[in-house]
Structure formats: C-alpha cells, structure tokens
Amino acid sequence: MANLPADIDITIWTKYFIPTCIDILGEHHAPFFPTDADVLKSIAKAFRVCFPGLAHEITIGSMIFKVLSQRCCEWRNKCSATAQDNVTEFLDGTPGLETPEARAEYIEGLGVGSTCDYLYQQITPVRRGCFRSDFVLKTFAFHLNAIEGTIRDSPYPAIGALGIAAIAVFHHLTLFRLDSHSEYRLNVPSSSMKPVRSRSLMAGVTITPSSSLRQAGATHATR
C-alpha cells in the first residue's frame, strides 16, 4: 500500500476499488488465468468508477496493476480454501463417512468426474438446479462477500466466479476421493464455517447441508 500513488484514498481503495475490480473479474469468461490485458482492462474500468477525479495512467507493470493482480490471485486462492472448508465440514459432519474409503465411495456417488451430480440442487427424481448445490453455493457466497462494497450494478452474471467455485468444489472432492489410496493420503484439518451474508443472487436460497447430497451417496451405496 505504501507504494501506491500518494493521492489515492486508501479507504476507497480497500472498501470500494478492490471489491469493484473483483466484481468485474468475476464476470470474465476465463477468470482462472486472465491475461495481463484482461486484468488491466478490469482495473482501468474500476479505477474510472472509484476515482473519477484522478488521471493516473495504469499500465502493465505499474504499482496499481501489481497490487491489484496480487489481490485477484488471493481472491482465487481464498475461494479454493472456502471450498475445502465446505467439503471438509460436510464430510466430517455426516455419519458413516469417517473413513477415507467411505468418503471415496460417497463422492463417487456424487458423480465426480462423470455425471457431476454434486453440482445440482436436486438429482432425484429429476435433476434440477445446476450450480445450486450446497457445495457450490456456499463457496460462491465467498465471492459475494468479497465484492461487498462494489459501486457498480452490473446486469451481467458472475459466470467466472461461479465457475471458479464449481471447479474448486470438484478439486477438493477429487482430493478426498483420492485419499482412499494411501499414496495420495491427505492431511486436511477440519475448519468451521463462518456465517455469510447474502446478496440479491442468493435471495431466497437456504444454504444448509442438503438432503439431496446425502441422498446421492445413499443411492450410490445401494446400487
């Protein structure tokens, strides 16, 4: 922060500018590895909105660009950590899933790597609510918290952020599935979830451990 231009208000930078940049990036179709040009475009757009009275030229390699690029990396990493917490909390709190083998069988029943049932709010009697499973929504809620303070009201959906949440869930479910093999054995500590605030997209959605997810594992176990 000390290396930022002296005329930048740190309060605006922290409370509004960073959330606005992440908000814009969350709408990007490829937020995993955005090009420098894409990041620069997002930063420049957010800077004009948050600091309309300043005329800084933001370029790739400038201090503003470097600091925001780091914040965007932290956003993606924390989204992954949130998914890990969600998956760990669910598996730790579900009776019958105490062993790596039981967890691997259960996760296979969620269609990880095949039918992708873990993405759905409901899978029986018909699939319904893609990207609305508890795993995905609770992870996506991290993004909604991260952009609290954004000063833009965009009509575009946060498809990039939702994609990151879904992939992060897939990644950590896969790690737990591999944990049944000793050569891939994990040592993932349990962690408690913090309450999350909802935004308009989450209105009316109850984020609680889903019976549909438990049902998916039970269905697999009885096949």
CA 153-154-157 angle, to 5 degrees, is 130
For 193-216, write each residue's pLDDT tens digit.
Answer: 333 333 333 333 333 334 444 444
DSSP 133: S
Phi, psi dihedral angles at 47 (to 5 degrees) = -65, -40
**Tokens at residue 38, please?**
């894409």
pLDDT at 181: 56
Q: The whole model's pTM is what? A: 0.77
Measure the CA–CA gap between 198 and 24, rounded to whole angstroms: 18
Residues 6+ positions from 142 with CB-CB distance below 8 Å = 78, 79, 82, 165, 196
CB distance 136 to 119 below 8 Å: yes
pLDDT at 209: 37
Q: Looking at 96-195, which runs of residues are DSSP E strands?
A: 120-122, 128-130
Q: Tokens 């002296």 appear where?
A: 6
Residue 91 CB: number of other CB atoms within 10 A?
A: 20
For 133-176, write each residue's pLDDT tens digit.
Answer: 999 999 999 999 999 999 988 888 999 999 999 999 999 999 99
pLDDT at 201: 32
| CA separation, residue 167 to residues 28, 119, 172, 173, 189 (Å) | 15, 10, 9, 10, 21
- Higher per-residue confidence, 111 vs 193: 111
Phi, psi dihedral angles at 195 (to 5 degrees) = -60, 145
The amino acid at residue 24 is I
For 41-70, write each residue's pLDDT tens digit.
Answer: 889 989 988 999 898 889 998 999 999 989
For 118-128, write each residue's pLDDT tens digit.
Answer: 999 998 888 89
CB distance 165 to 79 below 8 Å: yes
The predicted model gives 91-105 an average pLDDT of 93
